[in-house]
Structures are given as C-alpha cells and as structure tokens.
C-alpha cells in the first residue's frame, strides 16, 4: 500500500529511485513521483499511472541530484491523478514529502491551516501533514526535525514518511509508525525503502526502523531517535535475499514464476524442519513453547485475504489432528469487535508481508490482553514477525505478484508441520499416522512439480471459459477453503465475479444461479467426502451447469461427469490443499492473461495493505 524510496550519497539519485519504485510497484500503482534537490532547488515530477509513465515524463529532463525521494501510490485520500500523486510540496515550496499510511485526524488540522491561509493543491492527508509540519516550524522557529516530532505527537494514524528540505540537500528525515521502513547502509550512502527489494543490489546491511522512531539520514551518517528526541542504537541486520529472487527469470509474469517456484519454495520451507528419517519435526518457535500449545484451550487464527484462507485450512488441521478448538478471524473484524481473549488462548497470525495493518493492530490488541502470539510470516524482520512472541517463517522468498500463490502454499506447509508436531506432542494422533503424514508432506514438492510439468490442459480450459461472467467454486472439508481461494484468485486477476461455497451449502442458494452458462469448479479430490461431492456434481449437471473438476489422477468417475478436468496427484486429504490449489492458481492466471489484464498488478489491489 504505497511504496517509498529514498537515496542520499554519491550516485545519481534518480535512477536508483526509479528502479526502486519499479520493484515496489506491487504496493500500489495508480500514480508515482520523485522529488530531487539539484543546486539548491527542489524539483518534483509526478504522474498518474504506473512508474513507466513517470519515467516517460521525465525522459528529456536533465536530472542531476544526489538526494531524492520517490513514491508509488495506492490511493486513499483523493482519486488517482497527477495532483494527488506524491511527493507533495509545502506552501513555502521548501519541503517535499512522501507518505505511506493514513492520517485519520487530517480534517480538523486542514481546517485550521485553511483558516491560517494555507492552500492545498491536492486532496491528500499527506499534504495536510506536510503543511502542519511547516506551520509548527514557523510558529516555533525550530528545526524541521523538531517540528516533525511535534507534529507526529499530534496526529492520529499510520505513516512512513520521508521528508526533504531544499535548504538542506544533505539530509533525508524519515519517520514510521505502522507502515514499514528499511534503511540500507552503503559505503558513504544510504537507501530508504518500504521493503528491502530496492536496496538489495547495493547493500545487504539494513536497519528496520521501529514504530515511533525518526531517522536523520545523511550520506555517511544515520541517527535514529525516538519521539522524545533520545538517540536509539540502530540494529543492523544482514539480508539473506538474492537479487534473482525479485526478478522475473524468463517468465512472462511474476505470478507465473511464483506458481512454478512452488516445488522449491515448499521444499525450502520443509528443509531442515521435516525429518522423515527419524520422524522429527523441528520448529524452534513451537519447540520452545510446546507447553503453551499443548495446554491451549483455543487457537485463534488472525489474517486477511489469502492468508485468511490458509487459516481456514489450519482450522481443519488443528481440530482434526490436535483436537484443539479453533476460530478463524478476519483481522479487520477481530480488532474492532472487543473479542474475548482468555488465558490459554493462542493467536496464530498468518501474513505474507507481515505488514497488513489490520492484522498488525489486531495482534497488538490481543497481545495487550495477554495472548500468546505465534507468527506464520513470509517477510523476514517484518512488523508482525517482530511483534510475535514466537513464530515460523514460511521461507517462500519475495512474492511480487499481487495475487498470492507461493506464500499460500508456504503457509499451508508451516501450519501442517505445526499441527502434526503439536498433535504428536499431545498424543492426539498415533505414531503410525504421524509418520505417514510426515512422509506424505515430504513428497509434496515433487507432486507439485508433476502438476506443473504440462499446463497446456489448464490453459485450454482457461481459454474455453474466459468469457463467462460468473464462476462458482465448490469444495468440502479441507478443500472448502481451497474453493474460496480459487474464487478469490480468479476475481483478483481476471475481474470475473466468482463465489466460493461449501459444496453442500450450494443447495441453499447458489444453485439458483446454475444454468448452461455458469462454470462450476469442483475441488473434488479423493477424500472422505468423495461420494458426497460426486452427488453434488450430479446436481449441477442435472441443471445443465458446466463442471470443471480438480480431481485425483487415479479418479475414473469424476472425469466422465465433468466437462473439463484438471488432475492432481494423490495425497492424504489433510494436506490435499497444497496440491489442489495449484491448478486453480494456474486457471486464474491463464484466464487473466487471455483477457489481456496485467495479472501481476490487478486494478485497485495492492500487495501489502498497510491501511485499515
């Protein structure tokens, strides 16, 4: 949700910033802009649309600057337009600022500034905050840093901001609360960004700025302070990410690359943790807190979007294997509902980015009430990872495509290992079943590979149904959340209306939609509901619906009933979602591409939703 980049040092700032913005475009792409200081003069360029359009705009400008800030926007206040694009410039023309987040009390502040004669060129809360800072500076005759500190104490909301001053081309001032900020430390230069991807090719040493910290960044100096003006010691972390991981590597889209990476990412997730030779699962976050999990009265999964679907799969896993009562909560509802949190409750936070605002705040609230928070997170060092009492990374690598794919299967792999480990520790599964499931889980990467060997059948099915206006996705048991995820994926990248439903519940409403134009996708792998789902397929066929099935390779019945079938290898039903979701990811991808959409950056979406 908005990407920010800053640079100060001996290089030309503009190319570093533009390249960085392209890497961060998954966070927002409705407009972008840069501010540079050249020869004591502040120059701002901004443009509605993707970063490439900004680049075109500044093509013939002779840019020369060693300090700059850039922004790619996901609109909150004010429609996507040139004038609402960041950076914004203060009334005096001296200061420029970019912002990721939301200032909730911007209206009274704006009214106050209007009365004082301030004017606004945009509809954004950011321009209000910037002029508020300028006004405080003027009234108190203080430094920009001091004015910023005062302003931040008075505003309500979330922010990561970068601020530059035309009269001080040696300094970028940054601050964060609730929206991420990473500072890369080079030799005589510093890089600032929303995540490490714009920084990785220049340096691997980074500092993750904490909430309520201000960074005063010069080419050869980084000072961190809290809002009380006390210096903080920057904690330098070494990135273990490689540049290749954030490039397309020969694929047409990141989404396709990430779908195809899954055999490796799931393998990486299991590596060193799932040890079939001695039937062991090593997850230090669980090991170190095993008594908490064994005694848990209730597990609450808190997440948004695709991660929420992983939580739903985990509900089946933990109830089934561990006999623990599980609830799965949308973070946005949970945080405002005044939920009852009891001693003995464990919260499992699931998040790819580790920065989703609703999830983060829901966890902060739960932690305040004494809950134990376990993070299942992909982005190393992210806010949710740091807030958690313990956790397990999914190790899926950077996910750039806005529609989540490999992060989902990474989450399922971690949650499956957790459930197995806890069930074994509690004695709620037999030794034999435990060993069986470890073996099945270990075989998953190879089985995902089998699905990906030849995707031409799925591509053909996508072409056949791409003009449908609606889709229904149905599944039972472990495959019900997969049906929801299939529908979400299709909506996200093809803009086709799609609904996911429990296959049996379909009779209580959605069946009214069925006619010869409605494709109904059944996630119908061989499991204990198989016979029942066969009946559900018949019910759709009887009403002339078009049936697309995800079926087990050995199945000889469903393929004869369905109009089209996508096959997956056989596995145990408790880990079946790790396979059955893959054809649905591909189906969405190919439908989106066939319709000519930018599947990596679907309209209106952002990868990391850092506003509530």
Can you tell me the distance from the alpha carbon of 493 to that of 496, in angstroms, rounded to the nearest whole number? 8
Smallest distance from ligand G6P to CB 159, Å: 19
* 404 interacts with ligand G6P by CB under 6 A: yes
142 catalytic? Reply is no
Long-range contacts of 311-315 (CB under 8 A, 24+ apart): 311/348, 311/350, 312/480, 312/481, 312/484, 313/412, 313/415, 313/478, 313/481, 313/482, 313/577, 314/348, 314/350, 314/412, 314/415, 314/418, 314/419
Can you tell me the distance from the alpha carbon of 145 to that of 159, in angstroms, rounded to the nearest whole number? 16
By beta-carbon proximity to ligand G6P, the closer residue of 371 and 379 is 379
Smallest distance from ligand G6P to CB 402, Å: 5
Smallest distance from ligand G6P to CB 312, Å: 13
Q: Which two tokens stand for residue 307?
A: 């991660």
Can you tell me the distance from the alpha carbon of 366 to that of 358, in angstroms, rounded to the nearest whole number? 12
**Of 243, 250, 265, the residue nearest 197 (C-alpha):** 243
269 catalytic? Reply is no
Q: Which two tokens stand for residue 470?
A: 């609606």
* 578 interacts with ligand G6P by CB under 6 A: no
By beta-carbon proximity to ligand G6P, the closer residue of 550 and 609 is 609
202 Cα distance to chain centroid: 24
x/- string (CB under 6 A) for ligand G6P, residues 260-299?
Answer: ----------------------------------------
x/- string (CB under 6 A) for ligand G6P, residues 316-355?
Answer: -----------------------------------xxx--
Give exposure, 233-264, as e/b (b: 16+ Cβ within 10 Å). ebeeeebebeeeebeeeeeebbbbbbbbbbbb
Smallest distance from ligand G6P to CB 415, Å: 13
**DSSP conformation letters of 279-320:** TEE--HHHHTTHHHHHH-SEEEEEE-HHHHHHHHHHHHHIII
Smallest distance from ligand G6P to CB 409, Å: 13
* 307 interacts with ligand G6P by CB under 6 A: yes
* 437 interacts with ligand G6P by CB under 6 A: no
By beta-carbon proximity to ligand G6P, the closer residue of 353 and 565 is 353
Binder of ligand G6P out of 72, 91, 179, 356 (CB under 6 A): 356
CA distance readout (Å), 375 to 226, 303, 332, 392? 26, 10, 17, 6
Angle, CA of 465, 559 and 316, to the nearest 5°: 85
Q: Which two tokens stand for residue 471?
A: 């889709």
**Of 251, 255, 346, 254, the residue nearest 300 (C-alpha):** 346
**DSSP conformation letters of 329-371:** EEHHHHTTS-----TTEEEEEEESSS--HHHHHHHHHHHHTT-
Smallest distance from ligand G6P to CB 150, Å: 33
Angle, CA of 24, 25 and 30, to the nearest 5°: 140
Binder of ligand G6P out of 304, 376, 490, 493 (CB under 6 A): 304
Site for ligand G6P in 456-495 (CB under 6 A): none
For tokens 């009234």, name the residue: 139
Smallest distance from ligand G6P to CB 240, Å: 19
By beta-carbon proximity to ligand G6P, the closer residue of 100 and 351 is 351
* 306 interacts with ligand G6P by CB under 6 A: yes
* 91 interacts with ligand G6P by CB under 6 A: no
Residues in Cβ contact with 26 at an 8 Å cutoff, skipping those fewer than 6 apart: 3, 254, 400, 401, 402, 600, 601, 606, 607, 608
Instruction: Tell me the window of 149-157, 180-188, 302-310, 497-505 that interacts with ligand G6P (CB under 6 A).
Output: 302-310
* 396 interacts with ligand G6P by CB under 6 A: no
Q: Which two tokens stand for residue 89?
A: 């410039």
How crowded is the C-beta side of 265, counted as CA atoms within 13 Å? 26
Instruction: Tell me the window of 176-184, 198-206, 401-409, 440-448 that interacts with ligand G6P (CB under 6 A).
Output: 401-409
Which residue minimizes CB distance to ligand G6P? 305
Residues in Cβ contact with 59 at an 8 Å cutoff, skipping those fewer than 6 apart: none
* 588 interacts with ligand G6P by CB under 6 A: no
* 305 interacts with ligand G6P by CB under 6 A: yes
Of 2, 269, 304, 322, which one is the catalytic site residue? 2
Of 406, 546, 601, 607, which one is the catalytic site residue? 607
By beta-carbon proximity to ligand G6P, the closer residue of 545 and 602 is 602
By beta-carbon proximity to ligand G6P, the closer residue of 265 and 306 is 306
Smallest distance from ligand G6P to CB 573, Å: 24
Can you tell me the distance from the alpha carbon of 409 to that of 260, in angstroms, rounded to the nearest whole number? 12
Instruction: Tell me the window of 74-82, 191-199, 249-257, 603-611 that interacts with ligand G6P (CB under 6 A).
Output: 603-611
Instruction: Tell me the window of 264-272, 397-405, 525-533, 543-551 that interacts with ligand G6P (CB under 6 A).
Output: 397-405
Smallest distance from ligand G6P to CB 404, Å: 4
* 71 interacts with ligand G6P by CB under 6 A: no
By beta-carbon proximity to ligand G6P, the closer residue of 6 and 486 is 486
Residues that bind ligand G6P (CB under 6 A): 304-307, 351-353, 356, 359, 402-404, 605, 607-609
Residues acting as catalytic residues: 2, 607
């Amino acid at each position: 949700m908005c990407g920010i980049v800053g640079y100060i040092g001996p290089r030309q700032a503009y190319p570093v910033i533009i390249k960085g913005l392209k890497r961060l475009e998954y966070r927002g792409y409705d407009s972008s802009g840069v501010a540079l200081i050249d020869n004591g003069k502040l120059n701002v360029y901004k443009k509605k649309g993707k970063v490439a359009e900004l680049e075109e705009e500044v093509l013939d400008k002779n840019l020369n600057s060693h300090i700059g800030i850039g922004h790619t926007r996901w609109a909150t206040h004010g429609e996507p337009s040139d004038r609402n694009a960041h950076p914004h410039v203060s009334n005096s023309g001296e200061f420029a600022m970019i912002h990721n987040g939301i200032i909730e009390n911007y209206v009274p502040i704006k009214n106050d500034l209007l009365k004082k004669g301030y004017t606004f060129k945009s509809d954004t809360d950011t321009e209000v905050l910037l002029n508020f800072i300028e006004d405080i500076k003027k009234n108190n005759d203080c430094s920009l840093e001091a004015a910023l500190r005062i302003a931040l104490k008075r505003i309500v909301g979330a922010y990561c901001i970068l601020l530059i001053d035309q009269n001080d081309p040696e300094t970028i001032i940054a601050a964060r609360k609730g929206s991420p900020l990473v500072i890369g430390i080079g030799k005589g230069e510093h890089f600032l960004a929303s995540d490490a991807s714009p920084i990785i090719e220049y340096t691997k040493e980074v500092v993750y700025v904490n909430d309520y910290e201000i960074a005063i960044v010069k080419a050869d100096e980084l000072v961190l302070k809290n809002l009380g003006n006390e210096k903080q010691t920057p904690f330098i972390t070494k990135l273990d990410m490689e540049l290749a991981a954030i490039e397309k590597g020969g694929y047409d889209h990141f989404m396709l690359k990430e779908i195809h990476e899954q055999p490796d990412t799931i393998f990486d997730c299991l590596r060193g943790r799932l040890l079939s030779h001695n039937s062991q699962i090593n997850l230090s976050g669980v090991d170190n807190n095993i008594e908490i999990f064994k005694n848990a009265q209730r597990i609450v999964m808190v997440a948004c979007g695709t991660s929420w679907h992983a939580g739903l799969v985990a509900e089946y896993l933990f109830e089934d294997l561990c006999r623990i009562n599980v609830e799965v909560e949308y973070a946005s509802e949970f945080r405002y509902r005044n939920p009852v949190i009891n001693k003995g409750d464990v919260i499992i936070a699931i998040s790819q980015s580790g920065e989703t605002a609703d999830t983060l705040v829901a966890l902060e609230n739960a932690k305040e009430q004494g809950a134990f928070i376990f993070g299942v997170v992909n982005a190393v060092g992210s806010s949710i990872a740091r807030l958690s009492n313990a956790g397990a990374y999914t190790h899926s690598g950077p996910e750039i495509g806005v529609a989540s794919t490999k992060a989902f299967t990474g989450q399922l792999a971690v949650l499956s290992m957790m459930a197995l480990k806890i069930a074994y520790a509690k004695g709620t599964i037999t030794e034999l079943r435990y060993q069986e499931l470890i073996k099945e889980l270990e075989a998953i990467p190879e089985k995902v590979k089998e699905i990906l060997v030849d995707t031409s059948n799925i591509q053909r099915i996508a072409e056949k149904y791409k003009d449908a206006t609606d889709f229904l996705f149905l599944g039972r048991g472990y495959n019900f959340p997969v049906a929801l995820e299939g529908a979400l994926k299709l909506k996200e990248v093809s803009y086709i209306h799609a609904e996911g439903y429990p296959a049996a519940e379909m009779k209580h409403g959605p069946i009214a939609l069925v006619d010869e134009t409605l494709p109904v996708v059944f996630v119908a792998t061989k499991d204990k509901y198989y016979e029942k789902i066969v009946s559900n397929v018949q019910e759709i066929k009887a009403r002339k619906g078009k049936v697309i099935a995800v079926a087990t390779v050995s199945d000889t019945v469903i393929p004869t009933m369905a109009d089209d079938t996508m096959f997956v290898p056989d596995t145990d039903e408790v880990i079946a979602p790790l396979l059955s979701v893959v054809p649905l990811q591909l189906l969405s991808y190919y439908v989106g591409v066939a319709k000519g959409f930018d599947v990596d950056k679907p309209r209106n979406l952002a990868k990391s939703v850092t506003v509530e």
